[in-house]
């Protein structure tokens, strides 16, 4: 299957729209909302199911209240989000209603997906709305979120939603055409990368640091989102949304922006939850031998653990870091941080002596509860 066929055959599509596309000099662009609605309606007429992830609540709240400069305090951002979210949804209702499309608001916070039951309930809600022909409009629940517990940006949120519902394609629209070989604002001869087979160090280097290019979050956050989605078996397009007609062009198979191919060996549904939806409560540093064992699809044993960071309990998600503190993966631990500190670096027989013959888990993290995310 080539790229054009993949796009045409994508039936469940998540569309993420950045706030810069809906605002101009701080003012609301209702004409752009209507343009977006028209092009989403066109995709739906082709039989495609669409979920819209929309930024802009904080910016819209500031616009309504007449603020031109952001304040750093969290209560201000939460208040602006609460004001702006209602305005945003009203604008979407007024734009989609004449097209015969009902919209539904879904606000998500990390706590809503960290818990496995809540995660599955969210999935069921999305599926029910799509079956009813309703357009879900998703945003982070910024009115109650705090910086320490946030998705961070809607790029990551859109990838999580796409993974949650087993989407075929994630389309991330912002104000640049796609991934370039370098920041096009600084390097005029930079060229567009049309297709990416695998997100590796070279691709990450092209993305640069957060905020280098793209208005919100930077290209780096979009590459992180693309990696989440492709590991979940989902294709990704990063493209310019300055003209929303790009959506039906993508639906028709036209080559627009940068296309990221999904990984052939992608994660199962449960491992996607561990990798992308659970909130890590701590870190486990491992040695080279343990890292090689994990890369060979084996479990993490106490003997390979060098250090423990954070305060976590049995059943929590932890990040696994290699010898140079590189991210190797994430997993669900069989030990609390305090228990693990007592047995790190020990072999099975030594662990048995520590516990005095009591039942214990030989693995710190079993291979079935572990997801590799890098470090190779």
According to the model, what pLDDT value does residue 18 have?
Answer: 87
Partners of 137 in the beta sheet? 52, 105
The Cβ-side half-sphere exposure at 123, using a 13 Å CA radius, reads 20
- For the chain, report the end-to-end CA distance as a whole number of angstroms: 28
| Mean pLDDT, rounded, of the chain | 90
Contacts of 245 (CB under 8 A, 6+ apart): 35, 39
Phi, psi of 169 (to 5 degrees): -145, 140
Give CA–CA dist 131/312, Å, rounded.
Answer: 39
Task: Read off the pLDDT of each residue in 121-135 and give the average, rounded to a whole number.
Answer: 97
Flag whether pLDDT at 132 surpasses 90.
Answer: yes
Residues of the chain above pLDDT 70, percent: 94
Residues of the chain above pLDDT 90, percent: 66
Task: Read off the pLDDT of each residue in 18-43 and give the average, rounded to a whole number.
Answer: 89
Flag whether pLDDT at 213 surpasses 80.
Answer: no
According to the model, what pLDDT value does residue 178 have?
Answer: 93
- Residues 300-309 have pLDDT tens digits of 999 999 999 9
**Which domains, ranges and CATH numbers included, belong to the chain?**
3-270 (3.40.1160.10), 280-372 (2.30.130.10)
- Residues 314-372 have pLDDT tens digits of 999 999 999 999 999 999 999 999 999 999 999 988 888 888 767 888 999 999 999 99
Window from 177-191, 252-266, 337-351 with minimum mean pLDDT: 177-191
Give CA–CA dist 239/241, Å, rounded.
Answer: 6
According to the model, what pLDDT value does residue 152 have?
Answer: 61
- Residues 133-175 have pLDDT tens digits of 999 999 988 766 555 445 667 899 999 999 999 999 999 998 8
Flag whether pLDDT at 285 surpasses 90.
Answer: yes
- More confident position, 222 or 146: 222
**CA-CA-CA-CA torsion sign (59, 251, 102, 232):** negative
According to the model, what pLDDT value does residue 356 have?
Answer: 77
Continuous H helices in 182-268: 201-207, 218-231, 246-251
User: Any long-range contacts for 97-104 (C-beta under 8 Å, 24+ apart)?
Assistant: 99/37, 99/38, 99/41, 101/37, 101/40, 101/41, 101/44, 101/133, 101/134, 101/135, 102/132, 102/133, 102/134, 102/135, 103/134, 103/135, 103/136, 103/137, 104/129, 104/134, 104/135, 104/136, 104/137
Task: Read off the pLDDT of each residue in 71-98 and give the average, rounded to a whole number.
Answer: 90
Flag whether pLDDT at 127 surpasses 80.
Answer: yes
Task: Read off the pLDDT of each residue in 65-82 and give the average, rounded to a whole number.
Answer: 83
Neighbours of 328 (CB within 10 A): 26
According to the model, what pLDDT value does residue 148 have?
Answer: 44
Burial of 338 (0-12, 13-18, 19+ CB in 10 A): exposed
Angle separating helix axes 74-96 and 57-65, nearest 10 degrees = 100
Neighbours of 11 (CB within 10 A): 12
């Amino acid at each position: 299957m080539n790229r054009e066929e993949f796009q045409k055959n994508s039936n469940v599509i998540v569309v993420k729209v950045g706030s810069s596309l809906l605002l101009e000099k701080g003012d609301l662009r209702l004409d752009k909302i209507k343009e977006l609605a028209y092009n989403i309606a066109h995709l739906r007429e082709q039989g495609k199911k669409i979920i819209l992830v929309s930024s802009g609540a904080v910016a819209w709240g500031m616009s309504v209240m007449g603020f031109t400069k952001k304040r750093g305090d969290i209560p201000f951002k939460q208040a602006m989000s609460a004001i702006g979210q209602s305005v945003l949804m009203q604008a979407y209702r007024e734009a989609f209603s004449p097209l015969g499309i009902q919209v539904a608001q879904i606000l998500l916070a990390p706590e809503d997906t960290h818990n496995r039951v809540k995660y599955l309930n969210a999935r069921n809600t999305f599926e029910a709305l799509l079956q009813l022909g309703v357009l879900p409009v998703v945003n982070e629940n910024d009115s109650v979120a705090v910086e320490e517990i946030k998705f961070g940006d809607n790029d990551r949120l859109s990838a999580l939603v796409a993974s949650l519902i087993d989407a075929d394609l994630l389309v991330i629209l912002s104000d640049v055409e796609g991934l370039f070989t370098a920041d096009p604002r600084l390097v005029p001869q930079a060229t567009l990368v049309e297709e990416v087979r695998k997100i590796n160090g070279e691709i990450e280097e092209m993305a640069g640091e957060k905020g280098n290019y793209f208005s919100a979050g930077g290209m780096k956050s979009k590459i992180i989102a693309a990696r989440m989605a492709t590991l979940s078996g989902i294709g990704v397009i990063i493209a310019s949304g300055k003209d929303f007609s790009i959506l039906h062009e993508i639906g028709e198979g036209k080559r627009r922006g940068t296309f990221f191919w999904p990984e052939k060996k992608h994660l199962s549904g449960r491992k996607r939850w561990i990798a992308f939806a659970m909130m890590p409560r701590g870190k486990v540093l491992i040695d080279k031998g343990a890292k090689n064992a994990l890369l060979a699809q084996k479990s993490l044993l106490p003997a390979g653990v060098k250090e423990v960071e954070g305060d976590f309990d049995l059943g929590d998600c932890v990040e696994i870091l290699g010898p140079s503190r590189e991210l190797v993966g994430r997993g669900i631990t069989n030990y609390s941080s305090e228990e693990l500190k007592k047995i790190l670096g020990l072999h099975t027989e030594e662990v048995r002596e520590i516990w005095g013959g009591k039942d214990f888990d030989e693995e710190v993290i079993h291979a079935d509860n572990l997801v590799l995310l890098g470090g190779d």
